[in-house]
C-alpha cells in the first residue's frame, strides 16, 4: 500500500491521513493513470495495432499447419482432380506417408476452384461496367441531394447481410430468372463456340449465372464507391477543357476521366474480385453447392471453395481420422493464398494512383 501511495503522489506516506477507502483507492488510481497517460496511450495503441498482424500471421500459420498432412497426401491431385470422396469413414483407416485417412478417400478440388473462378469472373464482367456507369451518374449527372440519397442506398447495399441476399437470390431472383429469363436467352443464342455456352437446359435457378449475378450485386458497392471517389478527385480543368473543345460527355468520360483514374479502377476491380472469391453464404445458397461438378453450361449448378468450406463442415466431423477437416483447411489455404495476392495487388495499384495531381500523361 505504501509503495503505491508514494508512486501516486510522490510525497512521503506519513504526510497523508486519508482513511483507506474505495474512494481513496480510486482517486489514487486515477492520479496514477493521469500521470502516465501518454505512455498508456502509446503502449495500449502499440499493442492494439499489433493485433491485426498477429491475427493474420496466426491465420496463415494455423491453416497451413493443420492442412500440411493433407497437402502431403492429396498432392497435386488436389488442384487438378475432379473427385471429392471422403472414403469409407466407418471402415478401415489407412496410412499414407504416416498420415491417417479413411480407406478410399480421394480429394480433387478442381471443380471448386473452377467454379470459384467462373462465378467471380461473371460477377466482375457484370459489376465493372455497372459500377463505372453508376460512378459517372453519381458524380456528373444528378443533382447533389439525389446523389447523396442514392449513394446512401448503395452503401446500405454493402451492409445488407449476405444471408439475406442469398435468401432473396434463392427464393425470388433464381426462380424468376430460371422461369422467365434464362429460357429466352437459351432459345435465342446461336450455336457458335462462345455463345453455345448459353444454350442448353436452364435448370431451376440455382447455378453459375445466378451466383455470378448475386455476387455482382455484392461487389458493386465496393467498386462503385471506390470509382466514385476516384472520379471526384479528377481535377475539373481538363474536363472543362475537353468540353470547351466541343467534346460530348461520353468523349470527356472516355478520353479524360477514365484514363485519368484507369489504374485506380483496376485496383477497385481487384478488391471486388477479392470479395467475390471469398463470398460464402450467399453463393452457398444460390449455386447448388455441388462438390465435383463443373457447370456444363452457364446455367448449371456448381460449387465454390468458400461454399464448400461452409457446407462440408458437418460431413467433415464424421471423419474419425480428421482427414476431411485437414482437407477443408487445405481448401482454405488455397483460397486465402489467392485472396492475399489479389488484395495486395489491388491495394498496391490503388495506392499508386492515390495522388492524382499529376497530369494525365496518357497522350490525350
Partner 1 sequence: MIRRTRYVASEAFPRSRRRRAADVAFRVGALAALAIVVAPVVWVMADVVARAIPHWRWSVLVTSTVGTGGGLENAILGTLVLLLGVLVLAGTVGILAGVYLAEFAGLGRSGKPRGRLLRAATEILSGVPSIALGLVGYLALVTGFHWGYSLLAALIVLSVMVIPYIARGTETALRQVPTSYREGAQALGMPAGYALRKVILRTAFPGIVTSLLIALAISGGETAPLLYTAGWFTGTPRASLLHQPIGYLTYPVWTFWDYPSNEAHYLAFDAALILLVIVLVLLVTARVIVNRTQRFAESRRP
Residues 154-173 that bind partner 1 (CB under 8 A): 154-157, 159-168, 170-172
Count of beta carbons in the 10 Å neighbourhood of residue 143: 7
Roughly how many angstroms between the first and final C-alpha of the chain, as a whole number?
A: 76
Q: Quote the CA–CA distance of 71 and 63 in Å, as a whole number.
A: 11
- Cβ-contact 118, 85 below 8 angstroms: no
Q: State which residue, 224 or 297, has the beta carbon closest to partner 1.
A: 224
Span from 93-101, 183-191, 237-245, 293-301 in contact with partner 1 (CB under 8 A): 237-245
Rg of the Cα trace of the chain? 28
Q: Quote the CA–CA distance of 123 and 213 in Å, as a whole number.
A: 6
- Selected from 82, 233, 263, 293, the binder of partner 1 by CB under 8 A is 233
Least distance to partner 1 from the beta carbon of 101, Å?
A: 17
Q: Does 250 bind partner 1 (CB under 8 A)?
A: yes
Q: Which of residues 25-54 bind partner 1 (CB under 8 A)?
A: 34, 37-38, 40-42, 44-53
HSE, CB side, 13 Å, CA atoms: give it for residue 197. Answer: 10
Burial of 192 (0-12, 13-18, 19+ CB in 10 A): exposed
- Selected from 295, 335, 349, 353, the binder of partner 1 by CB under 8 A is 335
Q: Does 256 bind partner 1 (CB under 8 A)?
A: no
Q: Quote the CA–CA distance of 221 and 159 in Å, as a whole number.
A: 9
Q: State which residue, 219 or 297, has the beta carbon closest to partner 1.
A: 219
Alpha helix (H) residue ranges in 194-322: 208-233, 236-244, 249-252, 258-260, 262-278, 281-286, 305-311, 313-317
- Selected from 113, 178, 329, 349, the binder of partner 1 by CB under 8 A is 329
Q: Does 211 bind partner 1 (CB under 8 A)?
A: no
Q: State which residue, 264 or 297, has the beta carbon closest to partner 1.
A: 264
Q: Minimal CA–CA distance to 305: which of 289, 282, 285, 323? A: 289
Least distance to partner 1 from the beta carbon of 336, Å?
A: 5
Q: Does 344 bind partner 1 (CB under 8 A)?
A: yes
Q: Does 232 bind partner 1 (CB under 8 A)?
A: yes
Q: Does 68 bind partner 1 (CB under 8 A)?
A: no
Hey, which residues does 107 pair with through a beta bridge? 84
Q: Which of residues 262-301 bind partner 1 (CB under 8 A)?
A: 271, 274, 277-281, 285
Q: Does 261 bind partner 1 (CB under 8 A)?
A: no
Least distance to partner 1 from the beta carbon of 266, Å?
A: 16
Q: Does 80 bind partner 1 (CB under 8 A)?
A: no
Count of beta carbons in the 10 Å neighbourhood of residue 115: 30
Q: Quote the CA–CA distance of 164 and 155 in Å, as a whole number.
A: 16
Least distance to partner 1 from the beta carbon of 96, Å?
A: 22
Q: Does 363 bind partner 1 (CB under 8 A)?
A: no
Least distance to partner 1 from the beta carbon of 2, Å?
A: 27
Q: State which residue, 298 or 307, has the beta carbon closest to partner 1.
A: 307
Amino acid at each position: 500500500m505504501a509503495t503505491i501511495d508514494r508512486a501516486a503522489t510522490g510525497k512521503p506516506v506519513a504526510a497523508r491521513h486519508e482513511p483507506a477507502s474505495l474512494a481513496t483507492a480510486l482517486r489514487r488510481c486515477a492520479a496514477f493513470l493521469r500521470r502516465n497517460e501518454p505512455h498508456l496511450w502509446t503502449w495500449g495503441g502499440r499493442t492494439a495495432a499489433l493485433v491485426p498482424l498477429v491475427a493474420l500471421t496466426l491465420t496463415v500459420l494455423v491453416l497451413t499447419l493443420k492442412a500440411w498432412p493433407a497437402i502431403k497426401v492429396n498432392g497435386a491431385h488436389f488442384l487438378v482432380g475432379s473427385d471429392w470422396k471422403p472414403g469409407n469413414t466407418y471402415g478401415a483407416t489407412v496410412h499414407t506417408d504416416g498420415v491417417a485417412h479413411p480407406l478410399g478417400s480421394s480429394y480433387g478440388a478442381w471443380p471448386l476452384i473452377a467454379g470459384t473462378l467462373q462465378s467471380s469472373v461473371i460477377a466482375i464482367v457484370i459489376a465493372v461496367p455497372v459500377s463505372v456507369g453508376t460512378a459517372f451518374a453519381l458524380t456528373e449527372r444528378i443533382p447533389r441531394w439525389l446523389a447523396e440519397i442514392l449513394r446512401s442506398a448503395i452503401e446500405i447495399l454493402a451492409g445488407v447481410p449476405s444471408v439475406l441476399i442469398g435468401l432473396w437470390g434463392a427464393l425470388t431472383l433464381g426462380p424468376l430468372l430460371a422461369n422467365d429469363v434464362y429460357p429466352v436467352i437459351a432459345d435465342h443464342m446461336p450455336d457458335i463456340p462462345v455463345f453455345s455456352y448459353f444454350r442448353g437446359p436452364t435448370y431451376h435457378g440455382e447455378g453459375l449465372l445466378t451466383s455470378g449475378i448475386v455476387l455482382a450485386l455484392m461487389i458493386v458497392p465496393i467498386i462503385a464507391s471506390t470509382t466514385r471517389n476516384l472520379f471526384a478527385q479528377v481535377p475539373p480543368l481538363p474536363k472543362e477543357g475537353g468540353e470547351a473543345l466541343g467534346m460530348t460527355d461520353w468523349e470527356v468520360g472516355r478520353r479524360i476521366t477514365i484514363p485519368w483514374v484507369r489504374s485506380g479502377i483496376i485496383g477497385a476491380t481487384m478488391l471486388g474480385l477479392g470479395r467475390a472469391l471469398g463470398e460464402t453464404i450467399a453463393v452457398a445458397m444460390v449455386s447448388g453447392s455441388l462438390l465435383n461438378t463443373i457447370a456444363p453450361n452457364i446455367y448449371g449448378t456448381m460449387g465454390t471453395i468458400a461454399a464448400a468450406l461452409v457446407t462440408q463442415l458437418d460431413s467433415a466431423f464424421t471423419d474419425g481420422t480428421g482427414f476431411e477437416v485437414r482437407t477443408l483447411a487445405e481448401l482454405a489455404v488455397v483460397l486465402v493464398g489467392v485472396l492475399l495476392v489479389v488484395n495486395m495487388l489491388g491495394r498496391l495499384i490503388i495506392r499508386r494512383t492515390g495522388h492524382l495531381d499529376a497530369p494525365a500523361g496518357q497522350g490525350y
